[in-house]
Structure 1
Amino acid sequence: MVDQPRLAIDAMSGDGGPAVILAGAATALSRDPSLRFILFGDQAAIAAELARHPALKAAAEIAHVDGVVSGEEKPTQAIRRAKTTSMGLSIHAVKTHAAAAAVSAGNTGALMAMAKLALRTIPGIDRPALAALLPTLGDNDLVMLDLGANTECDARNLVQFAVMGAAYSRLALGVARPRVALLNIGTEEGKGTEELRDAAAQLRAADPAYLSFDGFIEADRLGRGEADVIVSDGFSGNIALKAAEGTARFITDLIKRAFSSSLRSKAGFLLSRPALHLLRHHLDPNNHNGAVFLGLKGIVVKSHGGANADGIAQAVAVAAKLARADLPRRIAEDLTQVETTRIAVAAK
């Protein structure tokens, strides 16, 4: 466990570059003064921004590097430049234990490829998965994975995702025994692909103490608070996530249009402002920023490229929390129980 985590920050990533990234790191530091940082990127650009944030300057060191991974760069190209880019060296710092976790708002595909190659997967994990926190109507956010790292998954992958997602839910959200559900086209046991049905059978048979498998869930129930962890292949998960995000934007835009349609509507807006502020806060992706590549031997957190300073601060907080809890070790321990049960069932 790391009490005062040092975080590697890809300072050149994201739409706002060093200005937004460092403002976010400074906000995170103001909330958690124990944090320390290694800032990877152009020294002159970083130093100029640090002048605006004296507390962050005292808690950070700059690691100069010229290269930056662009948003359009292919993962294969990015991997070849891993040793000369701010993204690649941020991940390398985790590999060498110079940092407890890495945070980047850069190219998702490149970040995943570099992280997987440099850090490798935890023994027993075939593929890492991209997980994020999503808002719900329940008492807690939910963990959803995979969100695009693996377009095709077999039953073994889905079971591993369930174990990883449950560990993340316990550590990040404090849920003692997360309710896990598989995303499917129906809730009946016979619905869905063979992979989904096999994964469900394995999870029911394992019945681990650290998660409660609740069967299948449909996409229209994602935000109802009926599950703490929702597991999917990356293809379906990414589509479900984008549909949910698009619906949230549609609702907020529709409300804005409705309240600006007449003088009476504008008066109604003034009366409804507190409720609308709460709605905006709940749907703001910056308040749930920080997706995690689960299943690696180190911690890498992916921020939205368009996140503001508060969103970056949220991603930094996620990285620090998971570093303190040593998430990879917890996943490895949990996986042992499920794998032992799977082997015993197969031998019967």
Structure 2
Amino acid sequence: MEKNKKTSLLLAGAGVGALLALRALRRNKREFSFKDRTVLITGGTRGLGLVLARMLAEQGAKLAICSRTKDQLEAARAELASGGATVLAFDCDVSDQQQVKTMVAEIKEKLGPVEVLINNAGVISAGPLDNLNLADFEEAMKIHYWAPLYTMLEVIPDMKARGEGRIVNIASIGGKISVPHLLPYSGSKFALVGLSEGFRSELLQHGVYVTTINPGLMRTGSARNAFVKGQKEKEYTWFALADANPILSLKAETAARQIIDACRYGEAEATLGFNAKFISGLHGLFPGMVTDLMGLVNQLLPGPGVGDDRVRGYQAETPLTQSPLTAPLQEAAAKNNEL
């Protein structure tokens, strides 16, 4: 009996070892170099997008970045170019299909076909359901669903023709678990996760690897540019304090390195940050319990305010959000072109 037990354990260990070896072999076979590759990063002028652009520039990529904010666009272009990067910058609304077509055509003409696409552009409206309106949900869907679809449809034909390509869609843990006071964001990120996973399934046969990224909170500095509604100062305060907390949020550079590695090896999905991995795993086992838990979280958040107007986070600053408690957020904002 004891001998059979030991044999079973040995066989199980050998099986696990064989699976790990096979995974490592497949991973190495997919390894992708970014040197001299044409990379398009939407929302690449600030926050996570700019951090990704810096890292890919260091690896020799030819960059195309886009944004709707002209001053941030020029600042990002100048910074990247001063470091020796080849970079094109586009004033482009990626939720407008014709603007996307024009941008991708110009990239192809000047840098060559897009070989790596990173869909990073995003918008956040934080506030209770009572203060949200249809426009908030429509805007989130345009930027988080339609815009990635437009960019993917433009670059995929050339990728398929080459038999090679990388697409990274920056979704969110909010695209796996709906977060109170972030309903437009969560709903649209859920849609992006489904779109991204479906595109991967259909494009694998063509050598095009689509990677879905689900980060938790990240210290990129972007909280300053999020929209807040309802009791605006209170909404921004909880959002900024959470975003600045090193226990709750992931450093932007750490997240960017993990994203680039997931792209390099053609991973299907990467969930970033211990908290995001934990809550995602818990939701997988007990979805109803986690959803009800979010209901308890909702009761701790600010109640509705008057009207459905919105302001940027930096317009709702308080002494608390400008205190040492948010120093990591302030530092990231200054570093990553979020001011």
- TM-score where L is the length of structure 1: 0.31
Q: Which has the higher contact order (CA 8 A, sep 6+)?
A: 1
- TM-score where L is the length of structure 2: 0.32
